[in-house]
Amino acid sequence: MRENPRLQAVQAVRQELATLGIDPFGVQIDRILSPTEGLIHGRRTILAGTNNYLGLTFDPGTIAAAREALEAAGTGTTGSRMANGSYAGHRELEVDLAAFYGKRDAIVFSTGYQANLGMISALVGTGDVVMIDADSHASIYDGCRLSGANVIRFRHNDAADLAKRMRRLGDDAANALIVVEGVYSMLGDRAPLRDFARVKREFGATLMVDEAHSMGVLGSKGRGLADEQGVLADVDYVVGTFSKSLGNTGGFCVSDSPDLDVLRYASRPYVFTASLPPATIAATRQALRTLSAADDLRLRLQNNAERLHAGLGALGFRLGAPANAVVAVLVGDKLEALRFWDHLLKHGVYVNLMVPPATPGGESLLRCSVSAAHTPEQIDAICAAFASWTGAKA
């Protein structure tokens, strides 16, 4: 069969990496040993690129809940909730999530990616306007594309730029959907949600916040950045994922809107995909209980973040944002970032290599995600591996 020209372009980039003997996007963890360690290329490796912020993936209560549900209800639902029906657990998880955020209702999706796709594409359509932060996650961009709405990007974390663009809309501003994130995944920087909430109120628009990287980490009981900044009531739709602090797979939206239930009939990424399996639902319900009571883990996470941030800062690295669960080391040059990443892996530390166009400002970066489950010794070992690169380069 003829080679697909689009895939050939991607293959050419892969081959370029292969000539260097480095494969940053095809890493296999042969055995996962704990929330913070895995066996990679036969080497015991510290995992510092996981989003496992609270380290709950091996939580015994969560595993027990998953096991029980697996035995009781089987491996999968084999269909969508619309066509094949919901299991009781789906609804129970939604009730739990709504109660956790103090919102009227919740809707659960099969991934966080689909939550953004499903919410944006159902809330706006052709002829509507959606205002998004320029550094938005791919799922927000893709949701906009699926919606067919008119997409206007404003400067990253710049509420004045948003307000300027809203003003240009005239009477249509009141119908606009504004979409921002709480903590941005690449650099770990926080959104000025109070300012965005003010703009939303000024124009009478609708505000959606993706709290993927702040749920479990920030705010009272881990409710996220909107809670921490005291503007949760101004957020019309909070979107999140089960794949980070909750240590599982899935996505959700909570809202006071009475329309949330109607979305079940209008959102294609909700309707046309299989619902979450029973073990995932049960584990997530248990993890949510643990997360909401885990102030000790949040403190440990913050201490670890500060230790890593201070350690890497003292080594002279350029860092993306103040100490946070995401600590990004800005490298600039792509080839250097690639070699640096490989060096860290060979020294027993796995981080995420991020390169343009996924990164803001066209910079390449090494993204560390800190976990409450990291020991201070592991954080020091991560710093030592980074330090050895400076030595290796000299």
By the 10 Å C-beta count (0-12 exposed, 13-18 middle, 19+ buried), 39 is classed as middle
Among 50, 214, 241, 364, binds ligand PMP (CB under 6 A): 241
Beta bridge partners of 72: none
Q: Given 103, 137, 200, 213, which residue is catalytic? A: 213
Among 49, 55, 112, 219, binds ligand PMP (CB under 6 A): 112
Site string for ligand PMP, 33-72 (x = CB under 6 A): ----------------------------------------
**Nearest CA-CA partner of 48 in 34, 63, 60:** 34
Query: Is 359 one of the binding residues for ligand PMP (CB under 6 A)?
Result: no
From 25-33, 108-116, 187-195, 276-284, span contacting ligand PMP (CB under 6 A): 108-116
| Cα separation, 363 vs 330, whole angstroms | 7
Q: Given 110, 147, 185, 364, which residue is catalytic? A: 185
b/e for 278-289, b at 16 or more Cβ within 10 A? bbbbbbbbbbbe
b/e for 327-348, b at 16 or more Cβ within 10 A? bbbbbeeeeebbbbbbbbbebb
Between 367 and 374, CB nearer to ligand PMP: 367
Query: Is 243 one of the binding residues for ligand PMP (CB under 6 A)?
Result: yes
- Pairing type for strands 43-47 and 349-350 reads parallel
Among 35, 118, 219, 251, binds ligand PMP (CB under 6 A): 251
| Cα separation, 277 vs 92, whole angstroms | 14
Query: Is 111 one of the binding residues for ligand PMP (CB under 6 A)?
Result: yes
Among 52, 57, 157, 185, binds ligand PMP (CB under 6 A): 185
From 205-213, 260-268, 274-282, 386-394, span contacting ligand PMP (CB under 6 A): 205-213
Query: Is 267 one of the binding residues for ligand PMP (CB under 6 A)?
Result: no
| Residue 244 is a catalytic residue | yes
With a CB cutoff of 8 Å and minimum separation 6, the contacts of 201 are: 234
Active site residue ranges: 185, 213, 244
